[in-house]
Amino acid sequence: MNRRKAIALSGAGVVGVAGGALVARNAFDSPASAASDAVPFYGANQAGIVTPAQDRLHFVAFDVVTKSRDRLVEMLREWTEAAARMTAGRDAGLIGAVAGIPEAPPDDTGEAIGLPASGLTLTIGFGPSLFRNADGVDRFGLAARRPDALADLPKFPGDALEAEISGGDLCVQACANDPQVAVHAVRNLARIGFGVVSVRWSQLGFGRTSSTSRDQATPRNLFGFKDGTANLKAEEEALLREWLWARSGDGPSWMDGGSYAVTRKIRMLVETWDRTSLMEQEAIVGRSKGSGAPLGKKDEFDEPDFAVKGADGELVVGEVAHVRLAHPDQNAGARLLRRGYNFVDGSDGLGRLNAGLFFIAYQRNPHKQFVPVQLALARNDVMNEYIRHVSSALWACPGGVAEKGDFWGRALFA
């Protein structure tokens, strides 16, 4: 139902508006240019994974608080409808932010009135605890459907995880080019979910720190370095098949066309980094800060040469340089699709920026991809001196919502 129709109907008291009269005070804007920046919601894969990385993030993790499987499924239906509307640049509910009766709260919160779709994507994921919670209870009869790939992540050396900002039963990744649009989407989903889910933690991000498309320039993280040069890109279809999308035979069929997301909140100790010499910063990363080229090479996209030694007889790209430890050649070819964001959560009371990277990586199987890479990094990376992993979560993001009527999690709960 398009927006115009919804209003006409609501005026006649059909979709739940009290049988009153609506008096238009303003004409509609022309819908001609409607949602030209909208990302299609329906499809074989969920949007928000290979979609060219938008500039802003609002990521939210929920705990399921209801005991009723039916209520959970019903909420997922409502969420999906609201998500389809909001990603198209519409209000979360059928009535909208200002067309209802004045005595009742509106079914959209209204802060996105007048804003375009802004490339909003909403991507859902299911956490291991949805299938069996910390006490081992199979709350919703899903334990048998948990993919092996969703087994809990191991503890990595040096992890300083805070339980209250880690894990969760469900997540929604909202990415948009306007932070207000991303926040609006999460706020409305949280509201629809009251009584069924409760927000466990959430994270705002800005300044995408990876590119998921060749059309995008490589952005910089808060250490000032280009990040994600070797990231999987939307155009690399063969690599995406190999490393990104779960397929038939990988695990339970409800994950076909889906992908697994690892999220890590990585606090960066930017003040100490900033008083580290340029030479040391570049040695730690293994790339030059200006061009992003691997040390010993000229251009950003030149392949690093891990064997070459300098005049001093030392390796140009050190044994423990970040780029070496993370490189596919050192990790059985493992690739990840990263779409992380910088964050600054104000300052920490000691006068330091509470800042860092909210790392998000999608992959076909985290235990074969993220885990070995992160183990290598956690053990050896000199960068660990300047970072702390404070939050961690793992999510199974199912395939796309095929069409209207289909909903997030339908195959899982079927």
Partner 1 sequence: MRTPRLFALAAAGVLAGGALAACSDDSGDEAAAGGPITVNATDSLCEVATTDVAAGTVTFKVTNKGVKVTEFYVYAAGDRVMGEVENIAPGLSRELHVELPAGTYETACKPGMIGKGIRGPLKVSGSAAPLTDNAALAAATESYQRYVKSQTGALLEKTQEFVTAVKAGDVAKAKELFPIARTYWERIEPVAEIFGDLDPKIDGREEVIEEGMEFTGFHRIEKDLWVTGDISKSGPMADKLMADVNEIVAKANAEKLSPLQLANGAKELLDEVATGKITGEEDRYSHTDLWDFNANVEGSKAAIAALRPVLEERAPDLVKTLDTEFANVDTTLAKHRAGDGWKLHNQLTQAELKELSDAINALAEPISKVAAVVAK
Q: Can residue 144 be called a binding residue for partner 1 (CB under 8 A)?
A: no
Task: Please say whether the beta carbons of 393 and 265 come within 8 A.
Answer: no
Nearest to 1 by CA among 96, 106, 115: 96
- Is 103 a binding residue for partner 1 by CB under 8 A? The answer is yes
Select the residue interacting with partner 1 from 40, 44, 70, 101 (CB under 8 A): 101
Exposure string (b/e) for 274-293, b if CB count within 10 Å is 16 or more?
A: eeeeeeebbbbbbbbeeebb
25 binds partner 1 (CB under 8 A): yes
Interface with partner 1, residue 135, by CB under 8 A: no
Question: Looking at 69, 77, 132, 191, which residue binds partner 1 (CB under 8 A)?
Answer: 191
Is the separation of the CB atoms in 107 and 14 below 8 Å? no
Name residues contacting partner 1, limited to 193-212 (CB under 8 A): 194-196, 198
Nearest to 102 by CA among 180, 27, 26, 23: 23
Please state, in angstroms and as integers, the Cα–Cα distance from residue 156 to each residue in 152, 159, 205, following that order: 12, 6, 24
The reply on whether position 91 binds partner 1 by CB under 8 A is yes
- Alpha-carbon gap, residue 73 to 205, rounded angstroms: 29
Which residue among 44, 104, 160, 332 contacts partner 1 (CB under 8 A)? 104
Q: Is 71 helix (H, G, I), strand (E, B) or coil?
A: helix
Q: Which residue from 48, 93, 96, 125 is in contact with partner 1, where contact means CB under 8 A?
A: 96
Q: Which two tokens stand for residue 305?
A: 């040469």
Query: First vs last Cα of the chain: how many Å apart?
Result: 26
Using CB under 8 A as the binding rule, whether residue 3 contacts partner 1 is answered as yes
Binding residue for partner 1, selected from 1, 44, 113, 278, defined by CB under 8 A: 113
Q: Figure out which of the listed residues 26, 248, 299, 351 binds partner 1, where binding follows CB under 8 A.
A: 26
277 near partner 1, rule: CB under 8 A: no
Binding residue count for partner 1, defined by CB under 8 A = 48
* Separation of alpha carbons 317 and 324, rounded Å: 7
Stretch that binds partner 1, among 94-102, 129-137, 214-222, 351-359 (CB under 8 A): 94-102
- Contact segment (CB under 8 A) with partner 1 among 15-23, 43-51, 272-280, 369-377 equals 15-23
DSSP E strand stretches across 127-225: 170-176, 197-208
Under the criterion CB under 8 A, does residue 34 sit at the interface with partner 1?
yes
Q: Which residues bind partner 1 (CB under 8 A)?
A: 3-4, 7-8, 11-13, 18-29, 31, 33-35, 65, 89-91, 96-105, 112-117, 191, 194-196, 198
